[in-house]
Amino acid sequence: MTNILETHHIIKQYAEHRALDDVSLSVPKGCIFGLLGPNGAGKTSLIRIINQITAPDSGEVILDGERLKPDHIKRIGYLPEERGLYKKMKVGEQLLYLAQLKGLTEKQAMEMLKVWFVKFDIKTWWNKQIQDLSKGMQQKVQFVATVLHEPDLIILDEPFSGFDPINANLIKDEILELREKGKTIIFSTHRMESVEELCDYIALINRSHKILDGSKRAIKEQFKTHTYHIEYQGVLTSLPTAFEVLRNQPLEDDFQRADIKIPPDASVNDLIRHLIDTVALRSFGENIPSMNDIFIQTVGENND
């Protein structure tokens, strides 16, 4: 699989602090890529470098095999975390203007806009001033502005903030649809449930360094604790000593719940075999770490 975006050893130094230190990333084409990290980690600095708003002190950015150049801005769509539009401009005029800045002709922009206005059912907004729209409506307009020029790479900084659940869903569907069309989406967020739901790949940045990256599946595999949870009736005895019971607590009915860690050389089947002989099982499952757990754990360890 080819990478749409690669950064190699990016360093960005501001007066007193280093915002990015040797950050290298690879974003495969056609995926949803989550850029994670606590506040002030350097995510926005990295995004600004990719958007050519600022330049790195050293290192390079490769977009689709080419070193980043001014012409590339047409191939990138950017929704900044700090949203904003000209308050006193009309919706239609404003979108035409922004699309033309991205290199579309007025005619092209007009055609694209028609499609989006129908899709989002906002035809009546064309002549409204931005300041007369609600915050959620403004966000929709801004989302249209981001993707109107059909960029190959779409960078969304906290895309769901400020949306009510219905509109957030609408945007989520759009993101998935864009991926279907072969576009790549990088999104930066704190909301781990949306990472869990949407992302194929992630990178975790903390204190100016990339501390973790890869496909979501691989990372989860890496963070697996080899523990399983069971709900059962009876007395849990005669497990081999290698199987460690981490926790055992009674549930409201006669059942109990236990977390059991298995040794690396044992298989799940071994555990089940032991259990079947001793207790009545109601449920059985593997404890898969959530992105939230991974985030907290990794950042916590990194900060120590």
Partner 1 sequence: MHTIFLIIKREYLVRVRKRSFIVMTILGPVLIFGFYAIIGWAAVSSINQKKVAVVDESGRFVNKFKADNETVFSYPKESLTNAKKSFVKQGYDALVFIPKDVIDYPKTVQIFAEKSVSLALQSNIERAIGKEIETIKLEQAGITQKVIEDAKVNVDAQTISLSDSGEKSSNGIATTIISGFCALLIYISVLIYGTQVMRGVMEEKTNRIVEVIISSVKPFQLMLGKIIGVALVGLTQFLLWIALTAGLITVGSSVLGQKETAKSAMSARMNGMPGQQEVQQKMAKDKNPVTSIMAAIETLNIPLIISCFLFYFLGGYLLYSALFGAIGAAVDSETETQQFMFPIMMPIIAAIAFAQIAVRDPDGPLAFWTSIIPFTSPVVMMVRVPFGVPIWQLMLSMGLLVLGFLGTTWIAARIYRVGILMYGKKVSFRELSKWVFYKG
State the binding string over 25-64 for partner 1 (x if CB under 8 A, else -). -----------------------x--xxxxxxx-------
Nearer to partner 1, 70 or 285 (CB): 70
Closest distance of CB 68 from partner 1, Å: 13
> Which of residues 14 and 121 has its CB atom nearest to partner 1 in the complex?
14
Nearer Cβ to partner 1, position 79 or 294? 79
Is residue 143 within 8 Å of residue 79, measured between CB atoms?
A: yes
Q: Tell which residue, 128, 202, 133, 122, has the closest CA to residue 170.
A: 122
Nearer to partner 1, 48 or 140 (CB): 48
Q: What binding mask, one character per residue, do residues 68-107 give for partner 1 by CB under 8 A, x or -?
A: --x--x--x-x-x-xxxxxxxx-------xx-xxx-----
Interatomic CA distance for residues 215 and 17, integer angstroms:
30
CA distance 101 to 104: 7
Tokens of residue 172, six digits: 């989520």
Q: Please, which residues have CB within 8 angstroms of residue 21's CB and are 6 or more apart in sequence?
A: 11, 208, 209
Q: What are phi and psi of 178, to 5 degrees?
A: -60, -40
- 163 part of the interface to partner 1, by CB under 8 A: no
Residues 142-161 that bind partner 1 (CB under 8 A): 142, 145
The whole-angstrom separation of Cα 78 and Cα 50 is 10
- Interaction residues for partner 1, span 198-217 (CB under 8 A): none
φ/ψ (deg, to 5) at 162 = 90, 0
* Interatomic CA distance for residues 85 and 95, integer angstroms: 10
Q: Which is nearer to partner 1, 98 or 205 (CB)?
A: 98
User: Which DSSP category does 13 fall into?
Assistant: E
Element (H, E) at 247: strand 244-250
Nearest to 89 by CA among 48, 167, 136, 145: 145
In the region spanning residues 251 to 290, those forming contacts with partner 1, defined by CB under 8 A, are none
Minimum gap (Å) between residue 7 Cβ and partner 1: 15
Q: Site size for partner 1, by CB under 8 A?
A: 29
Distance between CA 71 and CA 104 in Å, rounded?
13
Closer by beta carbon to partner 1, 47 or else 271: 47
**Could you say whether residue 245 binds partner 1 (CB under 8 A)?**
no
Q: Which is nearer to partner 1, 2 or 58 (CB)?
A: 58
Interface residues with partner 1 (CB under 8 A) are: 15, 48, 51-57, 70, 73, 76, 78, 80, 82-89, 97-98, 100-102, 142, 145
